Homo-oligomer: A and B are copies of this chain.
């Protein structure tokens, strides 16, 4: 099942694993797929530590970096991170911070021992550019993907001139065309069932439309892939690989705390929701008291990206650090796709990849056997 895109990247399997865990990146790439490290939430300094670790452990295998430069966000165009931070902070109403703090207090989530004011998030061109520069210093980092919108031309050029591939996610045909016209090397077509920032067109409808609209640009299928059967369904549409996220949240090598993994195991496919309550843009996650609190008519409205991220920053840190304390999971950020409903035990990344392959082949044999033409 090697595709042209696999050949360009030097990988054996068209399996792209999006993850925030460096260990998972390394394991997937060693198993024949490619790990893509999600940098959002980190500062460039923190990212450097992670990439150094990956470089030290991945051997001669390739990996990728995923950044977030939204096509539209508050403060767009400001390239000085300090100025941008000051500008954004002045835009957040005080009531939002207080409401977020209160939600955490009600659920018994401890305060942080140190002072930890909301920090500038990496969801902007200013910080993401520094991250891309870090990636391009490393020979094994072979691709950069932007999670929201077509990357700015300067970044596309920089990545391509360095011999790497650049791609981006999207959820609508119009965005596929924009990515194609910007000359991206691949397009990740994500159906609305996917985790994280997502649109609302179902994968089964969107994938073939994306393949047709992308012309010669390779498409990866995202949103709803948790088994080899689903992978075959995607490949049958003409994509050149699958972009998976939820699958890696609970693997053995994922650094999430047990309480967090348990939240994912407990969730059925009906337990996720598209909510603006963490990042300011619709993002699919496990439904809980936090997501519901921001939906009420008489509570603050989530702010646009990246302002809501400033509001939720401390909540992310606290619920991550104290994941098993009190009713922390009720106010934690657990991004996941609907496919989380079929994930219910820990397995190693390597076993998971083997399982995908076995299921893929079984599904293919099944449809071949059914065909008596």
Report A's interface with B, CB cutoff 8 A: 1-3, 172-173, 191-193, 200-206, 208-209, 223-227, 229-230, 232-238, 268-270, 337-339, 341-342, 361, 363-364, 366-368, 370-373
Which of B201, B234, B372 is the one whose CB lies under 8 Å from A270?
B201
- Shortest beta-carbon contacts, A-B, top 3: A193-B202, A233-B233, A204-B224
* Contacts A1-B372, A363-B237 given; does A173 touch B268 at CB 8 Å: yes
A225 to B233, CA, bound (A): 12
A224 to B341, CA, bound (A): 21
A263 to B205, CA, bound (A): 19
* Contacts A205-B224, A205-B339, A236-B233 given; does A371 touch B367 at CB 8 Å: no
Are B236 and A364 touching (Cβ within 8 A)? yes
Closest chain B residue to A202, Cβ basis: B193
Copies in the complex: 2
A364: B residues at CB distance < 8 A = 236, 367-368, 371
* Contacts A238-B366, A366-B236 given; does A371 touch B1 at CB 8 Å: yes
Are A229 and B208 touching (Cβ within 8 A)? yes
Are A201 and B205 touching (Cβ within 8 A)? no
A373: B residues at CB distance < 8 A = 1, 361
A370: B residues at CB distance < 8 A = 1-3, 235
A210 to B260, CA, bound (A): 27
Closest chain B residue to A227, Cβ basis: B208
A258 to chain B, nearest CB (A): 25
Are A338 and B234 touching (Cβ within 8 A)? no
Are B233 and A204 touching (Cβ within 8 A)? yes
Are A235 and B367 touching (Cβ within 8 A)? yes
A209 to B340, CA, bound (A): 11
Which of B192, B201, B372 is the one whose CB lies under 8 Å from A2?
B372
List 5 A–B pairs whose Cβ atoms lie within 8 Å, in order of A's numbering. A191-B202, A204-B224, A205-B342, A233-B234, A368-B368
A114 to chain B, nearest CB (A): 41
A225: B residues at CB distance < 8 A = 204
A230: B residues at CB distance < 8 A = 204-205, 208, 237
Are B206 and A269 touching (Cβ within 8 A)? yes
A209: B residues at CB distance < 8 A = 269, 341-342
A175 to chain B, nearest CB (A): 11
Which of B3, B236, B268, B339 is the one whose CB lies under 8 Å from A232?
B236
Closest chain B residue to A194, Cβ basis: B202
A366: B residues at CB distance < 8 A = 236, 238
A296 to chain B, nearest CB (A): 14
A237: B residues at CB distance < 8 A = 229-230, 233, 363
Are B223 and A204 touching (Cβ within 8 A)? yes
Are A203 and B202 touching (Cβ within 8 A)? yes
Closest chain B residue to A237, Cβ basis: B229
A223: B residues at CB distance < 8 A = 202, 204
Are B341 and A205 touching (Cβ within 8 A)? yes
Closest chain B residue to A208, Cβ basis: B229
A236: B residues at CB distance < 8 A = 229, 232-233, 236, 363-364, 366-367
A268: B residues at CB distance < 8 A = 173
A15 to B337, CA, bound (A): 30
A191: B residues at CB distance < 8 A = 202, 204
Given A1-B372, A202-B223, A238-B363, 12 further pairs, Cβ under 8 A? A1-B371, A172-B270, A192-B202, A193-B201, A201-B338, A202-B204, A203-B204, A204-B233, A209-B269, A229-B237, A232-B233, A368-B368
